[in-house]
Structures are given as C-alpha cells and as structure tokens.
Structure 1
Amino acid sequence: MDLNQLFKVQEIIENNIKQFTDIKEDTLGKENVFDLRFLALQVKTGEIANLTKCYKYFKVKENIPKEKLMIRYIDALKFLLSIGNVHHFNVINGEAINSIEKENSIIKLFSYIFDDIKDLKHAILQDDYVLSLSIYVRLFARFINLGELLGFSFQEVYNYYVEQA
C-alpha cells in the first residue's frame, strides 16, 4: 500500500491548480480554506452515501455503475489527501492503516467517517498533532474500508487515482 505516492500526486495536482487559477489562498483567508477542505470532504463523502442510497431502508439498492461510484470515491479521497498534506499527516503508512479494525456495516461506517471528520477538525484546531494524526489514521483506514465495502480494492483505487491525475 503505497500511500506516499498518493500524497505526492495530490500535492502536484493542487500545485497545478494554484498555478492556473487567479484565486490565492491568502485572499480567501486561512480559516476559510481550512473549513473549505473539511466541508468538501463531508460533502463528497455524503455524495457517495447518496449514490448508494444505503440510508434509505425502504429502497432496494440499484445497480450503481462502478465507474460512477469510483469517481465519487476519488473526489472525496482527494480532499482527504489534501488535508493530510496540509497538516503533515502524509507520514502515515499501510501498516498503520491495516492496524485499524474494519467495519462490515456501510451505514455505521459512513457515520464513523463523519464523526472522524468532525473530531479531526476539532483536534487540529486544538493544535494537538498526536491526537490529530491518530484520528487521521483512523479516518483514512475507514475511508479505505468504505472503498472495500463499495467493491474497490486499494490497488484499483490507487491505479484509477494515478491514471486520472
């Protein structure tokens, strides 16, 4: 599991975006950019839940095209990686990720992911790097677990992400 490469690719993507846009982060304000990344991660994760309709107990799951689901998943992953780069969590590795217990319920997993996003934001604002890193590892592991429950192997996600970059 080569997480380091994913973080590097995301950094390159963001640097390219910054070069081609007129909007500077300083103009938006650091607090706004901070909140924007977390909100974007929440929204993109919510889009995955909405696509799966897993929260609608009375609805039969439709066959969701794998490509469509992968695109939504990668969109959220980009913001998760971005947060990792900005806050120096890009030191995590596969061993740390694999040490986190997996969840079999997609509904619980979405709930845990949203809780982790909120907890991570709070820990970063408290300037507690060790706690923040611990929460980030758990969040990242849960996000990979989500991909698996959606039918994606880490290698598939990795390959798709690198190809689309």
Structure 2
Amino acid sequence: MNLQKMFEMQKALDDRIIEEKGLQGQDLLPNLILALQVELAECANEWRGFKHWSNDREPRTKHPLEVSPNGAFRKGGNPLLEEYVDCLHFILSIGNRLGFNNDATIQRIIRRAEERELEINIGIEKAFSHLMSLVFGFYFSAGEDLTYVRSLERFLNLGKLLGFTPEQIEAAYMEKNAVNHQRQEEGY
C-alpha cells in the first residue's frame, strides 16, 4: 500500500474542497476528528460483530446490486471495506492537517504497524474502541506525533483484523477518491 501517494491524493481532494467551499483559514480539525469518529462508528456498524443482542452478526461485505441514495460508490460492493476507506480518507486528512504526511513519519507508521502486527489479536471490539479513544485524544494532543502515529498504525492493523489486504484497501481508496472528486463536480 502506497501511503505517501494516498496522503498526496487526499491533500489534493482536501485542497480542492477548501478552495471551492471558501474554507481557507478555518480550523477544520474538529470537523475532521468528528467525521472520523462517525465513520469509525459506521464501519463498526457494518462489521456488526459487537451486536451480541442480534442474530445477524455477520459483517456486511456484499451489497445488493443497487445504487446508494448518495452516490454511485455502492453498486454491489463491500460496505465494510467502503466504510473502512471512508475512515481512511479522514485519518489521512487529519495527518495532512497536522503535518504528519512526510516520508519519515509514514515509514515510522508502517514499521510500527508491522512490529505490532503480532499484537493485533486483541479482538475487533477492543480494536475499534481503542482506536476511537485515540482519535478522541486528537483534541488534546493535536501536536503530538505519537498520538497520530499510534492511531494510523492501529487503524492499519484494524484493516488486517477485518480481513482486508493492503491491495484491497488501496484499490478501494483510489475508487472512492475518484467518486469524491466527482461529487465535488456535481455540487455534493
């Protein structure tokens, strides 16, 4: 997975949105943090494994062949992967905003994710909850790179826990990034 390329693509999308929506100079970090929290919750909802009260706890990995009300991304795709990639968009935006998009930091994140891969069997429920608490911590530690590094590292490992390969994640990111640009052209 080429994280550097995805950071760059996300920056291009974010710059476009800021320019077209007249958001220059505004502190968008609180919006991005809240958006990431919402998307993580949506991803957990598509995973469904925490719903001990339900008989339907299987992850939503297949969509019926229909177009979603808000766009063309879900046409028989994988809703769980789609929500995971929505999270990726926002975590990359936050990294760009905080300046953690340089090659040294990205390599550090990848190394940490690989080193901690042995520890990822904590359970998906705990992985989601831990990641959400780290993301909440952005409000209090926005300038500390360790919080962001840990968050992205844990996010990448969550993808592994959910069964996604780096290639699947990158391909889904590329597709959704193109959809997001299309949505901007259409006045989303």
Q: Aligned runs of 1:49-68 on 2, under 5 Å? A: 49-60=44-55, 61-66=57-62, 67-68=78-79
Q: Aligned runs of 1:11-160 on 2, under 5 Å? A: 11-21=11-21, 23-26=22-25, 29-30=26-27, 33-60=28-55, 61-66=57-62, 67-91=78-102, 92-93=106-107, 94-101=110-117, 102-104=119-121, 105-124=123-142, 129=143, 132-160=144-172
Cα distance in 1 for partners of 2:10, 2:97 equals 11
Q: Which has the higher helix share?
A: 1
Displacement, 1:148? 1.4
Amino acid at match of 1:103: I
3-state SS of the aligned residue for 2:116?
coil
Cα distance in 2 for partners of 1:35, 1:63 equals 30
Q: Kindly tell me: are residues 80 and 40 of structure 1, through their superposed partners in 2, closer, same or farther at Cα, counting changes over 3 Å?
A: same
Q: Give the TM-score taking structure 2 as reference length.
A: 0.74
Amino acid at match of 2:113: I
5+ residue gaps, structure 1, are none
Q: Give the TM-score taking structure 1 as reference length.
A: 0.83
Percent sequence identity over aligned pairs: 32
Greater than 6 Å deviation, 4+ residue runs: none
| Segment of structure 1 superposing worse, 114-123 or 51-60 | 51-60
Displacement, 1:98? 1.9
For residues 11-68 of structure 1, give each alpha carbon's deviation from its aligned partner in whole angstroms, at most 9, with x where no partner exists: 11112223433x4244xx42xx221110001000011111222222132313512511
